[in-house]
Amino acid sequence: MQFVSTRGRAPALSFSDAVLAGLASDGGLYVPVSWPRISPDEIAGYANRPYAEVAFDIIRRFAGADIDEATLGDIVEGAYKGFRHASVAPLVEIAPGHFVLELFHGPTLAFKDVAMQFLARTMDHVLARRGTRATIVGATSGDTGSAAIEAFRGRETTDIFILHPRGRTSEVQRKQMTTVLDDNVHNIALEGDFDDCQDIVKAMFRNAPFRDGVKLSGVNSINWGRIVAQIVYYFTAAAALGSPHRQVIFSVPTGNFGDIFAGYCALRMGLPIRQLVIATNSNDILNRALRTGRYERAGVMPTISPSMDIQVSSNFERLLFEATGRDAGLVNQMMDSLGQSGGFTIPNQALKLIASQFDSASASEAVTARTMQGVFAASGYLLDPHTAVGVAAGSPLAGGREPLVTLATAHPAKFPDAVREATGIEPGLPAWLADLMHRPERMSVLPADAGEVEAFIKARTRVMEDRT
Ligand SMILES: *Cc1c(COP(=O)(O)O)cnc(C)c1O
């Protein structure tokens, strides 16, 4: 299968090349040239199948001849065997007809493990086959960095450098990154905030001599290799609840629109999804866009669901491409307008199409806390604040004809302060992570200066060794 850019000016790439590239050279995002169809019989057959087998069957339709089937089988087997739950992504009913899909049984307790464990193995395979290495860099406010570090640790083909704002992540999040002591893992505690981290990463990608010199690669949520792995659990969840004979509604706590776009992919592939609910916290750019047709950048407000505190949702561009009938010219116009004036208007027809498949709701801080408290009081189930946003947004649709599934994107112990404040309960880390806070840490403190960060990376990445 080939992948094309949403901006229409970059060459089409194979699966492997799209995964290594991340962003397209014209600034666009890669999408498959066509949507493979999964038949109703195949969907029915996914019920009660091991998760890795379903992952294999779905991802092979995109990876095609590019990654041979035996290798792809090994990759998905390896990616999911470290999950601490036998079914990888189990469903739990928290109210009649309302289920949460627990995506947090991976090594860092957030759903990003599901995609990152797949992506790291895939990149490792492709790089090894080509006899080359890459340098991975990323900025994190918490979840992405720890999931990436855990997935890339110890790999022969990659060195990973993750920038976090010094002293501004939670203790658990920092420890999950800095206690990984493998030689190829480099934690940079930047003297600045998250925006400084992100600006420096962007500057490094714009610096062509540096970028090409260290073979820079990104693993943020726009990488197709992450989206494709996230399609899988929509199928396993719906099949477990009676699809294809039954339609299902999904409510998805949303930041960069990656996770919910994977749900849209599942829909396009034939999964009978009645509706996808975009659940946002008070950073509600997507909710406003759906309601008004105006996509308008605003300042970021810090919330108790920090992994969804975003200014713009990068992956929304993929939906715009689809909803405009793959009109790259229109997508370019909208993205230019976003860059120049901070907003754009979604064409009427596209907005109508989006509204027929998506619903949206935003949960304030108070509603998020009340939801954690209410669900705990009614069922004894502890939600993390991100999942609580999803539960709050989806709840009006619960108890109807179709089952409602809210994606549980993090373990409550990852955000203990918010959970304790709302419920009075201190969520404990799972036993296998209980000693996390006492493990030794390693990190380097650097000033918020792109030149210094580049020098630090150049001195350490093995890509440079290969050239000397
Ligand atoms: C990243 C993240 C999200 C948002 O996912 P997107 O794909 O960016 O929409 C939600 N919840 C948690 C816990 C996350 O880490």
In a domain, 439, yes or no: no
Distance CA 52, CA 77 (A): 6
Distance CA 139, CA 149 (A): 12
Residues 6+ apart with CB under 8 A from 380: none
Distance CA 123, CA 118 (A): 9
In a domain, 417, yes or no: yes
Q: How many other C-beta atoms are found inside a 10 Å radius of the C-beta of residue 53?
A: 16
Alpha carbon of 467 to ligand 1 centroid (Å):
37
**How high is the pLDDT of residue 22?**
87
Asked if 314 contacts 257 with a C-beta cutoff of 8 angstroms, the reply is yes
Tokens at residue 142, please?
């918490």
In a domain, 303, yes or no: yes
Alpha carbon of 214 to ligand 1 centroid (Å):
29
Angle between helices 112-130 and 143-152 (to 10 degrees): 40
Asked if 142 contacts 165 with a C-beta cutoff of 8 angstroms, the reply is no
Alpha carbon of 285 to ligand 1 centroid (Å):
15
* Residue ID of nearest Cα to ligand 1 atom 8: 256
User: Measured from the CA of 386, which atom of ligand 1 is nearest?
Assistant: 11
Given the structure tokens 């992450």, which residue do they identify?
226
Instruction: Residue 157: name the closest of 120, 210, 106 by CA.
Output: 120
**CA 274 to chain CA mean position, Å:** 22
**How high is the pLDDT of residue 142?**
76
* Residue ID of nearest Cα to ligand 1 atom 2: 307
Spell out which residues line ligand 1, taking CB within 6 angstroms: 110, 112, 143, 221, 253-259, 307-308, 386, 409-410
HSE on the CB side for 55, CA within 13 Å?
A: 28
* Residue ID of nearest Cα to ligand 1 atom 14: 307
User: Measured from the CA of 387, which atom of ligand 1 is nearest?
Assistant: 11
**How high is the pLDDT of residue 274?**
98
* Residue ID of nearest Cα to ligand 1 atom 1: 307
Of how many residues is the chain composed?
A: 468
User: Measured from the CA of 254, which atom of ligand 1 is nearest?
Assistant: 9
Active site residue 112: yes
List Cβ<8 Å contacts ≥24 apart for 415-421.
415/170, 415/304, 415/305, 415/384, 415/385, 415/386, 416/172, 417/170, 417/304, 418/304, 418/305, 418/369, 418/372, 418/384, 418/385, 419/372, 419/382, 419/383, 419/384, 419/385, 421/369
In a domain, 288, yes or no: yes
**How high is the pLDDT of residue 445?**
98
In a domain, 352, yes or no: yes
Distance CA 257, CA 354 (A): 14
In a domain, 70, yes or no: no
User: Measured from the CA of 384, which atom of ligand 1 is nearest?
Assistant: 13
CATH code at 271?
Answer: 3.40.50.1100
**How high is the pLDDT of residue 369?**
98
Residues 6+ apart with CB under 8 A from 467: none
Distance CA 228, CA 221 (A): 11
In a domain, 345, yes or no: yes
Q: What is the pLDDT along the chain (468 residues), one digit of tens a residue?
A: 999 999 999 999 999 999 998 889 898 999 999 999 999 999 999 999 999 999 999 999 999 889 999 999 999 999 999 999 999 999 999 999 999 999 999 999 999 999 999 999 999 999 999 999 999 999 988 789 999 999 999 999 999 999 999 988 888 889 999 999 999 999 999 999 888 898 899 899 889 999 999 999 988 889 999 999 999 999 999 999 999 999 999 999 999 999 999 999 999 999 999 999 999 999 999 999 999 999 999 888 999 999 998 888 999 999 999 999 999 999 999 999 999 999 999 999 999 999 999 999 999 999 999 999 999 999 999 999 999 999 999 999 998 999 999 999 999 999 999 999 999 999 999 999 999 999 999 999 999 999 999 999 999 999 987 765
**Where do runs of H (alpha helix) occur along 246-315?**
258-268, 285-292
Number of domains in the chain: 1
Asked if 6 contacts 314 with a C-beta cutoff of 8 angstroms, the reply is no
Residue numbers of the domain that contains 413? 91-110+225-423
Q: Choosing from 81, 112, 175, 202, which is the catalytic residue?
A: 112
Alpha carbon of 221 to ligand 1 centroid (Å):
9
**How high is the pLDDT of residue 468?**
57
Alpha carbon of 308 to ligand 1 centroid (Å):
6
Asked if 150 contacts 108 with a C-beta cutoff of 8 angstroms, the reply is yes
In a domain, 358, yes or no: yes
Testing ligand 1's pocket by substitution, the residue of 100, 102, 105, 111 carrying the most ligand atoms inside 8 A of its CB is 111
